[in-house]
Amino acid sequence: MRIYVGNLSFNTEEAQLEQLFAPLGQVDSVKLVRDHATGRSRGFAFVEMTDGDQGRAACAALDQHELEGRRLTVNEAKPQVQRSGGYSGGGGYSGGGGGGRKRSESRW
Protein backbone atom coordinates (compact mmCIF):
# COMPACT_ATOMS: atom_id res chain seq x y z
CA MET A 1 0.00 0.00 0.00
CA ARG A 2 1.29 3.44 -0.93
CA ILE A 3 0.79 6.19 1.68
CA TYR A 4 1.07 9.96 1.20
CA VAL A 5 2.71 11.87 4.07
CA GLY A 6 2.37 15.65 3.80
CA ASN A 7 3.14 18.82 5.75
CA LEU A 8 6.64 17.58 6.59
CA SER A 9 9.35 19.84 7.90
CA PHE A 10 12.04 20.53 5.29
CA ASN A 11 14.47 18.93 7.77
CA THR A 12 12.69 15.56 7.93
CA GLU A 13 14.67 12.63 6.51
CA GLU A 14 13.67 9.18 5.21
CA ALA A 15 15.07 7.41 8.28
CA GLN A 16 12.78 9.42 10.59
CA LEU A 17 9.72 8.44 8.58
CA GLU A 18 10.76 4.80 8.51
CA GLN A 19 11.15 4.85 12.32
CA LEU A 20 7.74 6.50 12.67
CA PHE A 21 5.94 3.89 10.53
CA ALA A 22 7.91 0.75 11.50
CA PRO A 23 6.04 0.01 14.77
CA LEU A 24 2.79 -0.04 12.76
CA GLY A 25 3.84 -2.60 10.14
CA GLN A 26 6.37 -3.71 7.55
CA VAL A 27 7.77 -0.67 5.69
CA ASP A 28 8.97 -1.52 2.17
CA SER A 29 10.27 1.91 1.20
CA VAL A 30 10.25 5.61 2.01
CA LYS A 31 10.58 8.18 -0.78
CA LEU A 32 11.04 11.77 0.32
CA VAL A 33 10.21 14.04 -2.63
CA ARG A 34 12.96 16.57 -3.29
CA ASP A 35 13.31 19.59 -5.56
CA HIS A 36 15.34 18.62 -8.63
CA ALA A 37 17.32 21.87 -8.74
CA THR A 38 18.19 22.32 -5.06
CA GLY A 39 17.86 18.82 -3.57
CA ARG A 40 15.78 20.32 -0.75
CA SER A 41 12.74 18.46 0.53
CA ARG A 42 9.42 19.57 -0.97
CA GLY A 43 7.58 18.79 2.29
CA PHE A 44 5.98 15.47 1.40
CA ALA A 45 6.86 11.82 1.00
CA PHE A 46 5.48 8.42 0.05
CA VAL A 47 5.74 5.37 2.29
CA GLU A 48 5.16 1.88 0.90
CA MET A 49 3.86 -0.73 3.34
CA THR A 50 3.55 -4.42 2.56
CA ASP A 51 0.14 -5.04 4.12
CA GLY A 52 -2.88 -2.91 3.18
CA ASP A 53 -4.58 -3.38 6.56
CA GLN A 54 -1.45 -2.25 8.38
CA GLY A 55 -1.16 0.67 5.98
CA ARG A 56 -4.72 1.80 6.66
CA ALA A 57 -4.12 1.45 10.41
CA ALA A 58 -0.94 3.53 10.07
CA CYS A 59 -2.90 6.23 8.21
CA ALA A 60 -5.48 6.36 10.98
CA ALA A 61 -2.87 6.39 13.74
CA LEU A 62 -0.51 8.96 12.21
CA ASP A 63 -2.86 11.43 10.51
CA GLN A 64 -2.50 14.74 12.42
CA HIS A 65 0.47 13.27 14.36
CA GLU A 66 2.97 15.98 15.31
CA LEU A 67 6.50 15.57 13.95
CA GLU A 68 9.10 18.33 14.30
CA GLY A 69 6.42 20.82 15.29
CA ARG A 70 4.15 20.11 12.31
CA ARG A 71 0.89 18.17 12.08
CA LEU A 72 1.24 15.51 9.42
CA THR A 73 -1.33 14.71 6.75
CA VAL A 74 -1.28 10.94 6.27
CA ASN A 75 -3.60 9.09 3.90
CA GLU A 76 -3.69 6.49 1.17
CA ALA A 77 -1.94 7.87 -1.90
CA LYS A 78 -4.14 8.50 -4.91
CA PRO A 79 -2.98 7.26 -8.31
CA GLN A 80 -0.86 9.82 -10.15
CA VAL A 81 -2.81 11.81 -12.71
CA GLN A 82 -1.46 11.37 -16.23
CA ARG A 83 -0.11 14.69 -17.45
CA SER A 84 0.54 15.80 -20.99
CA GLY A 85 4.16 15.65 -22.03
CA GLY A 86 4.77 19.37 -22.21
CA TYR A 87 3.65 22.39 -24.17
CA SER A 88 0.74 21.44 -26.37
CA GLY A 89 0.98 24.35 -28.76
CA GLY A 90 -2.27 26.00 -29.72
CA GLY A 91 -2.83 29.62 -30.56
CA GLY A 92 -1.62 30.12 -34.10
CA TYR A 93 -3.38 31.77 -37.03
CA SER A 94 -6.50 29.91 -38.04
CA GLY A 95 -7.49 32.10 -40.96
CA GLY A 96 -10.97 33.29 -41.82
CA GLY A 97 -12.77 35.67 -39.56
CA GLY A 98 -13.64 38.74 -41.63
CA GLY A 99 -12.33 42.12 -40.51
CA GLY A 100 -11.13 44.95 -42.69
CA ARG A 101 -7.38 44.45 -42.32
CA LYS A 102 -5.33 42.93 -45.10
CA ARG A 103 -2.61 40.46 -44.15
CA SER A 104 0.13 42.78 -45.34
CA GLU A 105 -0.96 45.59 -43.02
CA SER A 106 0.73 45.92 -39.65
CA ARG A 107 -1.25 44.90 -36.56
CA TRP A 108 -0.57 48.12 -34.71
Look up the CATH number of the domain holding residue 18. Answer: 3.30.70.330
Q: pLDDT by residue (tens digit) across 19-75?
A: 999 999 999 999 999 999 999 999 999 999 999 999 999 999 999 999 999 999 999
User: Is 59 inside a domain boundary?
Assistant: yes
- Asked if residue 9 lies in contact with residue 20, where contact means CB atoms within 8 angstroms, the answer is no
Query: Is-above-0.85 flag for pTM?
Result: no
Number of domains the chain is built from:
1
Domain around 39: 2-73
* The residue type at 93: Y
H/E run at residue 3 = strand 2-6
For 48, phi and psi rounded to 5 degrees?
Answer: -100, 125
